Amino acid sequence: MSRSAPRSVEQYLEQLKAALAGEDPALQQDALYDAEEYLRAEIGQHPGKSEADVLELIASTYGAPDEVADAYRTTEATVRAALATPPRRAPRGALGKFFGVYSDWRSYASLFFMFLSLVTGIIYFTVAVTGLAISAGTMVLIIGFPFFLLFLGLVRALALAEGRIVEGLTGTRMPRRPAHASTTAPWYQRIMDILKDRHTWTALLYMVLKLPIGIVYFTIASAGLAIGLGLTVGPLLWALYLAGWVTVSGDVRMDGLEPWAIPFVMIIGICVLTLMLHLAKGVGRMHGHLAKALLVRPVN
């Protein structure tokens, strides 16, 4: 059943939201933001015409809500295909699947994300705690509430930036535009919308949680790499020492593995490194779901 032509930007956005029902919330957020920004700009360039007349005028260029929704689906599929890595040859057998993780660049990106999470966690936690503390301390002053609003705006901006990091390193689709918000409502209504928006507070919660999460990620990644590399490289160096290819200066007594145990310990080390890469990929997927739940505003 065809819908009636929208007579206002709000109606247009509601129809676009309905046309995108079931799509990724991040895609919906981007589409709604782009549509309102374009429509408001076009209306501003035609001050002598009503909103309904301008919408009818630009329908042939920007498209009806259903057409715009189809265009976004097509663009999303095209971008996803362009950014996708070339398909890898499917590994054969259990060992092939186990060691095939070394040829998957996403495992290394996720491992890097685990290390990076400690840095971003410190930054986000510092901003969140400092902002809340200053806001609470100055709330009795005239600058307290404006500072609190600026702080919430910074949190939303950091949430958008974190989404780009998460998408780039874990592959989870995250918003590329800010959360959609009406630009024509009175200023006090926009403030109330920000305060009532679940996305504002879940983003702040994410900022606080990112530090303990980052500590856990960094600890696991550091320990896994240290143990795996130690069990792999250590016996190799010991074997080279026993063969006389590596010497130690000074009168130092060297004790190490029995020669027969060297290959077994190295195999254990390689297995630990492989398990670490598998774990990193799993952590990347898991964190992507967490970021989407807390940083993407659900479209009702």
* Distance of alpha carbon 110 from alpha carbon 113, whole angstroms: 5
Q: Where a domain ends, among 47, 67, 83?
A: 83
Please report whether residue 166 resides in a domain. yes
Please report whether residue 3 resides in a domain. no
- In the chain, the number of structural domains is 2
Same domain, 146 and 286: yes
Report the pLDDT value the prediction gives residue 180, as an integer from 0 to 100: 64
Q: Where a domain ends, among 60, 83, 106?
A: 83
227-241, 259-273, 276-290: lowest mean pLDDT where?
A: 227-241
Which residue has 């976004």 as its token pair? 72
Same domain, 159 and 24: no
Same domain, 46 and 129: no
Same domain, 36 and 176: no
Report the pLDDT value the prediction gives residue 259, as an integer from 0 to 100: 76
- Is pLDDT at 82 greater than 80 in this prediction? no
- Is pLDDT at 124 greater than 90 in this prediction? yes
Report the pLDDT value the prediction gives residue 37, as an integer from 0 to 100: 85
Within 10 A of 86 (CB to CB), how many other CB atoms are there? 4
Same domain, 57 and 159: no
**Average pLDDT of span 170-185:** 77
Please report whether residue 244 resides in a domain. yes
Same domain, 57 and 125: no
**Average pLDDT of span 19-32:** 87
Higher confidence at residue 169 or residue 60?
169
Report the pLDDT value the prediction gives residue 1, as an integer from 0 to 100: 42
Report the pLDDT value the prediction gives residue 80, as an integer from 0 to 100: 76
Same domain, 285 and 254: yes
Same domain, 63 and 100: no
- Is pLDDT at 244 greater than 50 in this prediction? yes
Q: Where a domain ends, among 83, 116, 136?
A: 83
Please report whether residue 1 resides in a domain. no
Please report whether residue 259 resides in a domain. yes
- Is pLDDT at 254 greater than 60 in this prediction? no
**Average pLDDT of span 286-294:** 94
Please report whether residue 2 resides in a domain. no
- Is pLDDT at 2 greater than 60 in this prediction? no
Report the pLDDT value the prediction gives residue 262, as an integer from 0 to 100: 79
Same domain, 135 and 119: yes
Same domain, 20 and 65: yes
Report the pLDDT value the prediction gives residue 84, as an integer from 0 to 100: 63
Higher confidence at residue 176 or residue 47?
176
Higher confidence at residue 117 or residue 105?
117
User: Which residues constitute the domain of residue 113?
Assistant: 89-300
- Is pLDDT at 127 greater than 90 in this prediction? yes
Please report whether residue 103 resides in a domain. yes
Higher confidence at residue 186 or residue 268?
268
Same domain, 181 and 66: no
Same domain, 161 and 235: yes
Q: Average model confidence (pLDDT) for the chain?
A: 84
Q: Is the dihedral of CA 133, 135, 140, 142 positive or negative?
A: positive
Report the pLDDT value the prediction gives residue 15, as an integer from 0 to 100: 87
If we measure between CA atoms, which residue out of 236, 240, 258 comes closest to residue 248?
240
